[in-house]
């Protein structure tokens, strides 16, 4: 048993969510960030999609590229017997070079991100919340009270997602003043900002177009500090066990010598020695295994906390990007339902390099919307289109604002994924509204369908939408906290 013999967990609060969308061409495959792949078919009928890495007289090497809907991309390198290969469908040279470049960047993504993080120039700064960091980049200025590593990672990811947004909505203007992002490492600082701005919102992040500022609250500092404490304690436990392992032979020799002094026979001494040595080895191995498991869990949980913080930032970054570079509200603002719908979709996208793909609906939002649509009083789409902007300010579970977000998400998802309507001239005409149409009339022009015809079709499509394998669990129902504990052996 470990010294103290206790395994315990520390629950830490946190908040934030995620976003999607991508367009390289007008085709539906590009909407989900599709890559053009080579394919290889074996004699037994098995088919792989990906990239031929090498081919020889006896063996080929093939990278199977898998992009599961709603989940991160991964690749499997497969050595294949040449005799098992029946056919290969190759890409044209230009397409193959593009795929090779994409795959190379995918394989080197961790190294590329690490290099980008190192290249970020941070300066110590005194922020409104105390000592922190400052950054001045092409698209935004950032100040942060989070630790240096998280600050660098945030900068790299936001610049990455801005490049992805440019694929969806190409920038057509430059803002008069640069966007500002405030990243807070302590939620108490974020709550003070809300109080000072007189905001009553449940979200752990917001974008103010008036101030052209994104403010994000996290508990990353507390989480990081606690994680470092546990790492330090685990290191001390490992050192203690290593010391015991080093001294074990001499301690065992003392026990056996005492047995000889008490006239135990040699067979009994040998049995006792083997038993004690085996017991120690089991304890030593089990202790190190528990530490390793706890460390892996902690790393995974910290990664999830980081993912959620970045995801929520992606949501607010979309609002800021659209305002600053495409549709400023003083000229041609995005209708609120579409602005929030797109931001929510981007919130759950998969970021492959500098490309966002949307290929699966968010299971939590889908389940809640389906439940609402099946109820006695589902909202009319006209009510969503005509809802005032300030109705979106509250997003507590079950309130009007929360329902508006669900319906905005569902409408936008349907228009993008099922009808591919939100790209190019049609979306641009809808946003700019040159004929000055009202909310319902301009929506009917966008969909080329009367609302009374569109509405039942949308209801049916959303109620019947299903995503196998994307089960909604109780843990995922909280959008504002992470109830995943840190594991501690000590």
Contact, 60 vs 52, CB < 8 A? yes
CATH code where residue 107 lies: 2.30.30
pLDDT at 358: 67
CA 247 to chain centre: 47
pLDDT at 231: 85
Domain boundary among the residues 57, 88, 117 is at: 117
**Which one is predicted more confidently, 399 or 438?**
438
Contact, 14 vs 483, CB < 8 A? no
pLDDT at 321: 93
- What residue ranges in 3-81 does DSSP mark as E strands? 7-10, 38-42, 47-55, 59-66, 74-81
Q: How confident is the model at residue 57 (pLDDT cuts 50, 70, 90)?
A: confident
Residues in CB range of 109: below 8 A, 6 or more apart:
353
Is 27 a member of any domain? no
In this structure, are strands 130-136 and 38-42 parallel, antiparallel, or unpaired?
unpaired
pLDDT at 302: 75
* 394 shares a domain with 263: no
Is 18 a member of any domain? no
* 268 shares a domain with 175: yes
* 110 shares a domain with 170: no
Mean pLDDT, all residues of the chain? 81
Is the pLDDT score of 3 beyond 50? no
- Its pTM stands at 0.70
What is the spatial distance between Cα 65 and Cα 350, in angstroms, rounded to a whole number?
15
What is the spatial distance between Cα 403 and Cα 127, in angstroms, rounded to a whole number?
36
The per-residue pLDDT for range 223-253, each reduced to its tens digit, is: 788 888 888 888 999 999 899 989 999 999 9
Domain boundaries, position 329: 1-7+121-345
Domain boundary among the residues 284, 314, 345 is at: 345
pLDDT at 332: 87
Is the pLDDT score of 284 beyond 50? yes
pLDDT at 481: 31
Domain boundary among the residues 345, 372, 407 is at: 345
* 422 shares a domain with 408: yes
Q: How confident is the model at residue 398 (pLDDT cuts 50, 70, 90)?
A: low
What is the spatial distance between Cα 478 and Cα 472, in angstroms, rounded to a whole number?
11
* 135 shares a domain with 112: no
The per-residue pLDDT for range 429-442, each reduced to its tens digit, is: 999 999 999 999 99
Q: How confident is the model at residue 489 (pLDDT cuts 50, 70, 90)?
A: low
pLDDT at 485: 43
Is the pLDDT score of 75 beyond 90? no
pLDDT at 296: 85
Q: How confident is the model at residue 395 (pLDDT cuts 50, 70, 90)?
A: low
**Which one is predicted more confidently, 208 or 166?**
208
pLDDT at 34: 63
* 240 shares a domain with 382: no
pLDDT at 77: 83
**Which one is predicted more confidently, 35 or 484?**
35
* 323 shares a domain with 216: yes
Total domain count for the chain? 3
Is the pLDDT score of 4 beyond 60? no
Is 21 a member of any domain? no
* 241 shares a domain with 94: no
* 175 shares a domain with 214: yes
Dihedral pair phi/psi, residue 78, rounded to 5°: -115, 115
Is 490 a member of any domain? no
Q: How confident is the model at residue 378 (pLDDT cuts 50, 70, 90)?
A: very high
Residues in CB range of 193: below 8 A, 6 or more apart:
182, 184, 215, 217
Q: How confident is the model at residue 25 (pLDDT cuts 50, 70, 90)?
A: very low
Question: The tokens of 302 are what?
Answer: 């910290």
Question: The tokens of 263 are what?
Answer: 């006239």
* 239 shares a domain with 104: no
The stretch 108-121 carries a mean pLDDT of 71
Q: How confident is the model at residue 331 (pLDDT cuts 50, 70, 90)?
A: confident
Element (H, E) at 292: helix 266-321
The per-residue pLDDT for range 165-190, each reduced to its tens digit, is: 887 788 888 888 899 999 999 899 99
pLDDT at 169: 82
* 303 shares a domain with 211: yes
pLDDT at 482: 32
pLDDT at 355: 65
Q: What percent of the chain has pLDDT over 90?
A: 40
Is 132 a member of any domain? yes
The stretch 57-81 carries a mean pLDDT of 81
* 319 shares a domain with 213: yes
Is the pLDDT score of 26 beyond 60? no
pLDDT at 486: 44
**Which one is predicted more confidently, 114 or 386?**
386
**Which one is predicted more confidently, 271 or 395?**
271
Q: How confident is the model at residue 21 (pLDDT cuts 50, 70, 90)?
A: very low
**Which one is predicted more confidently, 188 or 221?**
188
Is 290 a member of any domain? yes
pLDDT at 450: 96
Is 170 a member of any domain? yes
Question: The tokens of 155 are what?
Answer: 């900068």
Mean pLDDT is lowest, of 71-80, 171-180, 253-262, 455-464, for 71-80
Is 29 a member of any domain? no
Is the pLDDT score of 407 beyond 70? yes
């Amino acid at each position: 048993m470990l010294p103290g013999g206790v395994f315990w967990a520390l629950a830490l609060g946190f908040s934030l969510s995620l976003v999607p969308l991508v367009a390289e061409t007008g085709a539906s495959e590009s909407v989900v960030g599709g890559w053009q792949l080579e394919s290889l078919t074996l004699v037994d009928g098995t088919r792989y999609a990906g990239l031929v890495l090498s081919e020889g007289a006896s063996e080929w090497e093939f990278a199977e590229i898998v992009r599961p809907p709603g989940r991160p991309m991964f690749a499997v390198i497969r050595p294949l017997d040449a005799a098992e290969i029946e056919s290969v469908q190759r890409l044209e040279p230009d397409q193959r070079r593009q795929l090779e470049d994409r795959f190379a960047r995918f394989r080197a993504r961790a190294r590329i991100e690490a290099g980008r993080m190192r290249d970020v120039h941070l300066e110590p700064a005194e922020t409104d919340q105390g000592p922190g960091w400052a950054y001045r980049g092409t698209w935004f200025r950032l100040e942060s009270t989070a630790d240096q590593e998280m600050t660098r990672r945030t900068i790299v990811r936001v610049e990455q997602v801005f490049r992805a947004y440019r694929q969806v909505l190409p920038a057509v203007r430059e803002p008069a003043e640069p966007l500002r992002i405030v990243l807070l490492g302590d939620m108490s600082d974020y709550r003070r900002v809300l109080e000072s701005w007189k905001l009553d919102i449940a979200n752990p992040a917001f974008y103010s177009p008036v101030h052209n500022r994104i403010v994000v609250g996290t508990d990353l500092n507390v989480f990081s500090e606690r994680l470092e404490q546990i790492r330090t304690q685990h290191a001390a436990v490992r050192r203690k066990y290593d010391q015991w392992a080093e001294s074990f032979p001499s301690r065992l020799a003392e026990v056996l010598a005492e047995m000889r002094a008490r006239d135990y026979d040699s067979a009994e001494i040998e049995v006792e020695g083997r038993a004690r040595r085996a017991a120690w080895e089991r304890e030593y191995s089990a202790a190190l295994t528990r530490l390793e498991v706890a460390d892996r869990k902690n790393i995974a949980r910290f990664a999830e906390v980081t993912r959620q913080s970045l995801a929520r930032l992606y949501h607010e970054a979309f609002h800021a990007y659209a305002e600053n570079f495409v549709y400023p509200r003083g000229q041609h603002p995005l209708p609120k339902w579409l602005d929030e719908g797109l931001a929510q979709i981007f919130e759950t996208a998969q970021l492959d390099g500098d490309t966002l793909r949307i290929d699966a609906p968010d299971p939590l939002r889908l389940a809640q919307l389906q439940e609402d649509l099946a109820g006695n009083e589902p909202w009319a789409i006209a009510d969503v289109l005509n809802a005032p902007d300030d109705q979106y300010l509250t997003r507590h579970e079950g309130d009007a604002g929360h329902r508006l977000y669900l319906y905005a998400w569902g409408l936008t998802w349907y228009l993008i994924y099922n009808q591919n309507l939100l790209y190019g001239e049609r979306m641009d005409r809808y946003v700019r509204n040159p004929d000055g149409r009202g909310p319902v009339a301009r929506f009917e022009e966008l969909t080329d369908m009367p609302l009374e015809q569109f509405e039942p079709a949308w209801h049916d499509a959303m109620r019947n939408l299903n995503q196998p394998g994307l089960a909604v669990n109780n843990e995922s129902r909280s959008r504002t906290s992470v109830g995943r504990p840190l594991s501690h052996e000590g």
